Amino acid sequence: MTDVVSIAADRGRGVLYGALAGIALSLGGLIVRLMSGETSGWQMLTWRSLAFAALMFAIALFRTRSLRQIVRNIVDAGWLGVGVALAVGLGQIAYLMGLIHTSVANVTFLLGSAPVVVAFAGWLVLGERLSGRGIVTLVAAMSGVAIMFSGGISGSDVLGVAYAAGALAAYASMVLLLRKAGPVDTFAVTGVGGLLSAIISTWIAGGDLAIVPADAALSVVSGVFQVGAGFALIALAARYVKAAEVTLLVLLETILGPLLVWIFIGETPAPVTLVGGAIVILSVAAFAIFAREKS
C-alpha cells in the first residue's frame, strides 16, 4: 500500500512539474510584448541570457557542490557538449528574435511541432525507429504548419518565421546531441549556452547594456522564471513521468502563449494560423499518446 501511495505521489509531482513548465514557457511572448520601445531585442537578450546562465550554473552547483566539478563536467562533455551549448545559445537568440519579428502564434505553433520533428530527425540521423503512427503524426503536424502559412507570409513576418524555424532546428539539434552524448551535466552545458548567447547579443548591441529598470526586470524574469525555470521543471518532470507525458503537459505552452498575448495585448492570430496551429497541437498530442501506449 505504501508503495502504491509513493508511486501516485511521484506521478502527481511529475504532472505538476510538467504543467508548471508549460505555464512558465508560455510567458515568453507576453514578456516580450510588455517591453518598452526604449530597449532593443539584443539588449533584452543579453540580460535574459545572463539570468538564464546564472540559474543553470546555480542548479549545477547545487547538484555537484563543487565549482571544480562543474568545470570538469563541462570538459568531460567534450565536443558534443560544445554542440549542445551552441544549440542552446543560438536557439535562444532565434527564439527571442522570432517573437520580436512575427506573431507569438506563429512562433509557438511552429515550435509546438518540435516533438515530432525531433522523432523524424532521430530516425534520419541516429537510426531510431519511427513507427507508422509516428509518420502519420509527423505528416499531420507539417500539414498544420503548411496551413498556417498557406496564405503566404507577409513581408514583416518573413524574418520572424525564419528565426522561429532556426529555433526549431536548434532545439532538435540539442535533443539529438544530448541523446548521443549520454549522461552529461545538462545544466552546466546549457549554462555555457546561455553565456554564449549573452556574448553574441552584447556584441551586436554594441556593448550598450544600459536599459530602463522595468525592462531589465522583465529580461531577468524571462531568463530565470520563463526559460530557466521551464527548462529545470521539464528536467524534474522527466524523473517522475514518461517523456511522452511530459510532451503532453508542455503543450500548455503552445496553447497559452498565443492566448495570453490575445487577452493582455490584443494580438489576434489570423484564422488560418489558428486552424493550422490546432492541427499541430492535436498531432503532437496524438504522437505523445501513441508513444505513451508503446512504452
10 Å Cβ neighbour count for 12? 12
Alpha-carbon gap, residue 18 to 129, rounded angstroms = 26
**The pLDDT of residue 7:** 56
Helix (H) or strand (E) holding 246: helix 243-264
Q: How would residue 10 be classed by pLDDT, with cut points 50, 70 and 90?
A: confident
Residue pLDDT, tens place only, 65-88: 999 999 999 999 999 999 999 999
Cell numbers linked to 293: 501506449
Region class of 206: left (phi > 0), else alpha (psi between -120 and 50), else beta? left
Half-sphere exposure of 287 (CA within 13 A, CB side): 31
Kindly report the pTM of this predicted structure: 0.93
10 Å Cβ neighbour count for 263? 11
Does the pLDDT value for residue 4 go beyond 70?
no
Residue pLDDT, tens place only, 248-279: 888 999 999 999 999 999 999 989 999 999 99
